[in-house]
Amino acid sequence: MYVSKVLKVLYAPRRTLKEVIESPKYIGPIAVMILLIVATLGTTYIALSKNYYEQTLPTGERYDEWTENRTFWTSNTAVTESNDHINQTYYYGIYYYGNASIEFSIVNSSQVWMQLGGIGSVDCSSPNVYHLLSLRTKWTSPDAVPENVTLQMFSANTSDYFYRNLNDMFQNASPDIWNNLTVDTLASAEWFKTSSNADWSKITGLELNFTWSTSSNITLLVDGLFFHGPFQSELEAGGSGYLVSNGIAAALQFAVTWVLLSGLAYILVRALRGKPTWRPMLIAVGFILIIMFVQTLINAIGYLTWPVAHIPFELLGGVGGEGDAALKTITDQRSLGSQITTFAGIIAPVWTIALVAVAVRLLAEFSWVKSIIVGIMAYLVTVIVSSFIV
């Protein structure tokens, strides 16, 4: 019965709000809050199921920890942590490339090698697991391109490994800039192995070996080393936690908006010499917030128009120029959904202000102009204050 009554605010606002003011009961606003929570859970489910993110090791929350901490590395030369690192932008609170790189320096040599260990066991056996490796390298001396570069992938121990040549990736490489290396053919025929015990499902480390044609002072840096895995939806990654947190956020948003909007409308009416009653004002605004439920439903419709998006690590990493094509594709494909949610974001405030004006006119017998002014001022201040609370 009360769900039906709160919905009547949408198509018969004056009559419904008059009934609410004459017989104010808290069960109406409670019904609105429950409807909003349910709609939020459904909308969140739809949105999360549309986004698939490329999985990495280390995970984004751990940054690129393998190239942040020198204790993961051994080498034929000195190993230090350098402040010279990949420039990136901020993405959802995460700097994927951290704030350091690993530097290897050796005097009067033609070769430098670096070995990564302590990473656990990584399954690289198929495209369904960690099938790709990416890293950045940069050498500040010598000026020449390395003559030979090899990569070894250890399986359990350093005597059982896969190896291949990376020379083709350095044909267009340059000193003093970060060169992006992407090895997207793990567990393929391009690799050689040293023994039958080498197993792609148990990769425990790797080694890079750089050789120049003549001896010189060598300074080489490595940063942003990640194994890349399959795409996983936000829903799979976060599970019920995302749904619960969004449900709680919706309840909190409703409660804060309800109290603030009611209180501000009440204070403004009193300031304009009106004589409102607190409880009818509070209950009427609680019914009016059914607009939040409607806005959430419209957003859900917008999200339903989204095609599933596979968001690559290049887009998450935030390096300038990388991932731009993927971002444009996703944005273009979701333009209709964006238009729908933008429409909801415009119509909901206008509708809410109009209904608050109706309630004020009924409670205080103000003119329409004064009632609308109260509605606008109360709503705008509510939005500003609630942004600091919720």
Q: 3-state SS of 208-249?
A: EEEEEEEEEEEEEEEEEEEEEEEEEEHHHHHCHHHHHHHHHH
On the question of pLDDT at 368 being above 70, the answer is: yes
User: Residue 320: its pLDDT value, please?
Assistant: 67
Residue type, 35: L
Residue finishing a domain among 172, 201, 234: 234
- Which of these, 294, 293, 303, 299, lies nearest to 235 by C-alpha position? 303
Specify whether 222 is located in the same domain as 358: no
Residue 78: CB atoms within 10 Å: 12
In this structure, the answer to whether residues 138 and 88 fall within a common structural domain is yes
pLDDT higher at 238 or 206: 206
Residues 200 and 249 in one domain: no
Domain boundary among the residues 171, 199, 234 is at: 234
Instruction: Report whether pLDDT(351) > 80.
Output: yes
Taking the C-alpha atoms of residue 316 and residue 319, their distance in angstroms, rounded to an integer, is 9
Whether 318 contacts 94, CB under 8 Å: no
Residues 144, 205 within the same domain: yes
Give me the pLDDT at residue 73, please. Answer: 97
Asked whether residue 250 falls in the same domain as residue 147, the answer is no
The yes-or-no verdict on residue 60 having pLDDT over 90 is: no
- If asked whether residues 323 and 341 sit together in one domain, one would say yes
**Does residue 207 share a domain with residue 87?**
yes
Which of 234, 264, 280 lies at the terminal end of a domain, its last residue? Answer: 234
Selected residue with higher pLDDT from 323 and 332: 332
What is the CA angle 309-313-318, rounded to 5? Answer: 110
Q: Bridge partners of 148?
A: 211
pLDDT digits (tens, 9 = 90+) for 145-160: 999 999 999 998 888 9
User: Which pTM was predicted?
Assistant: 0.81
Q: How far apart are CA 304 and CA 45, in angstroms?
A: 10
CA 307 – CA 143 distance, rounded (Å) = 47
Q: Does one domain contain both 26 and 123?
A: no
Task: Assess contact for 293 and 372: CB atoms under 8 A.
Answer: no
Place of tokens 């000026």: 143
- Over residues 242-280, the pLDDT tens digits come to 889 999 999 999 999 999 999 999 999 999 988 888 999
Alpha-carbon distance of 225 to 215, in angstroms, equals: 27
Same domain, 284 and 196: no
122 and 203 share a domain?
Answer: yes
- In this structure, what CATH number is given to the domain that contains residue 189? 2.60.120.260
- Please report which confidence band the pLDDT of residue 89 belongs to, taking 50, 70 and 90 as the band edges: low
* Domain count of the fold of the chain: 2
pLDDT category at 65 given cuts 50, 70, 90 is very high
| Per-residue tokens: 272 | 């304009």
Same domain, 291 and 347: yes
Residue pair 127/200 in contact (Cβ under 8 Å)? The answer is no
Q: Tell me, yes or no, whether 63 and 187 share the same domain.
A: yes
Phi-psi region of 318 (alpha: psi -120 to 50; beta: other; left: phi over 0): left
359: containing domain: 2-52+235-389
| Burial of 157 (C-beta count, 10 Å sphere; 0-12/13-18/19+) | exposed
Of the candidates 2, 31, 10, the one whose C-alpha atom is nearest the C-alpha of residue 294 is 10
